[in-house]
Structure 1
Amino acid sequence: MSHSPPPLRHPVPTHPAYIPEPPSAPASPDGYQRFSSSSSPSSPPQHAYHVPAYSQFPQQPTHAPAPAIPQPDFAAWGMNDATAQFGMQLGQSAVAAGHDYVQRNFGTFFPSTSLKHHFNVSNSYVINKLRLVLFPWLQKPSSWRRRVCRSESGQTAEWASPREDINSPDLYIPSMALVTYILLCALYAGISKQFHTKILGEALSRGLAVLILDFAFVKLGCYFLNVSDSGSVIDIVAYGGYKFVGVIFVLIPSFLIRAPLINTILFIYAFLANAFFLLRSLRSVVLPDASAQLVSSPNPTSTATVPPAARRRRVIFLFLEAISQFLYMGVLVRI
């Protein structure tokens, strides 16, 4: 008789089961809080609360403060605030000192207010001025006087701006004419297949050299003739720069017509026109009339107080200045 084996039984633990409490987990992204299993009997009961995810950061209707201006982080460059502030103050002092030095030494020659005055032009002024430079004999002799107007304060008198007076010298036409002359020199070299970048520098140097020589001749003549007020530096430079208009008048047809006779006739005409224009224009500088005494600049000598001998020498000087334009323009047209 066979005996069946005894039934198998699982071992029964003699100690109570202890399941460790897992660490509290943050809220899941779907907004539900995880709960752990029940704690051991020996530990105090812990209660878990369900906190939605969106309630962790309550939104309040508050206004965002204005962003503050970021200050440079001088510590990142190895400097403290005191050294940085000292360096900034030193730099500002150096810039102010340099500006004062320029105004003190060069402001009398090229004041900023005078430059603005000489660039105050209009389209009608440019057209009429070009006509006056190329055809100066079309204007009546009594129409060459410069206009005098009162300043904004009304206490002093000053020359009218080029926009208001066609006889007033400007710097817009001479500067544009100089640039056009340089471009024409480059164009002529390109047509001749001899263009090089140095052509631009040579043309600029030639034009500036002519302007400097002309300016030095006028200033020295006024000095030796004892002209008390020889006009401002910018006025004389502007008058000397109008010769580039006549030079352009000669160069442009020479590109189209290869006729030496016609080019010579055009050159003689441009020279005579520029010489006559300077005779009329520089008269207000060398032989100023009574209206110039109203200007707030140093009082010029009137023609009524100039002795006849001195007046004769000044007229001769004007003719020499006009004749010298033949040499200056002859150098400029030979490109």
Structure 2
Amino acid sequence: MRLRGANPGMAPPHQLFEDTSTAAAPPPGEFQNPGAPSLGIPTQAFLSEPMSNFAMAYGSSLATQGKEMVDQNIDRIIPMNKLKYYFAVDTVYVGKKIGLLLFPYMHQNWEVRYKQDTPVAPRFDINAPDLYIPVMAFITYILVAGLALGTQNSFSPEILGMQASSALAWLIFEVFVILLSLYLVTVNTDLTTVDLVAFAGYKYVGMIWGVLSGLLFGKIVYYAVLGWCCVSVFFFMIRTLRLKILSEAAAEGVLVRGARNQLRMYLTMAIAAVQPLFMYWLTYHLVR
């Protein structure tokens, strides 16, 4: 159908606006600046990469500073770089040390050997304190306590956890009281907190032998074996701590004269005497 008056040879009328419906849409993420040529660089990537790099660098710096702060604070309480010394043991040392804890009466020389003002490793000196035996003895004591509770039909994870927590709490309390006593008595000694943990942890060896004997042979054997171990640990602590706590007085050539030296002697005996009390308190309920 042809409109009237329309000239077939006439060109189409001029459009007022340009048709852009068929033009290619810009890809997502690109910003078309009409006043500048397009460089083809995604704006989101241009803005995100510097920020992500800055965030990664800042986070790495914070992590490094936090690690240094934690290492410094831990080193003030526990010398982490010296813990390797307390675990430098071997099988021969462990066997001899356990024998010394059970039969200390024939041992003569109790002094710790030094090499260039540094104590030698425990595997070279049976008198040196270590943490391997106390840690393993504590873990073994918890396992033996679980076995004893099982024979009494009263085992449960909660009770075993309370047993472990109680033993650990008493150990921490004991070390804290010893440190406070040494501070109040003003004793100049080379004993460290780790040394006291080691000496306080040696009593678990006798506790294990006592509980195992009671489980196998009855309560009378438990009392006999535990009594022997208590006396042995008392003797061991006296001979060991005497050289540590009375070292200043021994250097002056005076061991028992003077009120301060007598107080140090009483403190040594008190530390040794409290070991049997803990040994009995932590084991008597395990043997029925």
**TM-score band (shorter)?**
0.7 to 0.9
State the match for 2:223 in structure 1.
264
Are residue 199 (structure 1) and residue 167 (structure 2) matched?
no
The answer as to whether partners of 1:219 and 1:230 remain within 8 angstroms in 2 is no
1:129-148 correspondence to structure 2 within 5 Å: 129-140=97-108, 143-148=109-114
Structure 1 pair 237–79 and aligned structure 2 pair: CA distance change class (3 A): farther
Partner of 2:3: none
CA contact (8 A) 1:129 1:166 kept: yes
Number of aligned pairs? 241
Q: Give the alignment of 1:247-258 within 5 angstroms.
A: 247-258=207-218
List aligned pairs for 1:232-251, cutoff 5 A: 232-251=192-211
Residue 210 (structure 2) pairs with residue 210 (structure 1): no
Which residue identity does 1:204 align to in structure 2? A
Q: Which runs of 5+ in 2 are unaligned?
A: 1-43
Closer, same or farther in 2 for the Cα pair 1:119/1:328, shift >3 Å?
Answer: same
Q: Could you list the per-position Cα deviations for residues 178-224 of structure 1 after superposition, in whole angstroms to 9, with x for gaps in the alignment?
A: 00011111111222222211133112112212211221221122112
Aligned-residue offset at 1:304:
2.9
- Which residue number corresponds to residue 81 of structure 1? 49
CA contact (8 A) 1:122 1:163 kept: yes
CA contact (8 A) 2:175 2:196 kept: yes
Selected match of 1:273 from 232, 235, 248: 232
Q: Are 1:278 and 1:322, in contact at CA under 8 Å, matched by a contact in 2? A: yes
CA–CA distance in structure 2, aligned partners of residues 162 and 138 of structure 1: 20
> In structure 1, what is the equivalent of residue 22 of structure 2?
none
Q: Is 1:149 the counterpart of 2:98 in the alignment?
A: no
Distance 2:214 2:252 in 1: 43
The 1:303/1:208 distance shift into structure 2, 3 A limit, reads farther
**Superposed displacement of residue 79, structure 1:** 8.0
CA RMSD of aligned residues (A): 2.2
Structure 1 segment 1-335 matched on structure 2, within 5 A: 80-140=48-108, 143-150=109-116, 157-229=117-189, 231-258=191-218, 260-288=219-247, 302-304=251-253, 308-333=258-283, 334-335=285-286
Q: For the residues of structure 1 that align with 2:72 and 2:52, how far apart are their CA atoms?
A: 30
TM-score with structure 2 length normalisation? 0.78
Structure possessing the higher radius of gyration over alpha carbons? 1
| TM-score (norm: length of structure 1) | 0.67
1:24 alignment counterpart? none
Cα pair 2:233 2:276 within 8 Å, conserved: no
For residues 125 and 163 of structure 1, the distance between their equivalents in structure 2, rounded to whole angstroms, comes to 5
Structure-2 residue corresponding to 1:47: none
Q: Which runs of 5+ in 1 are unaligned?
A: 1-74, 151-156, 291-300
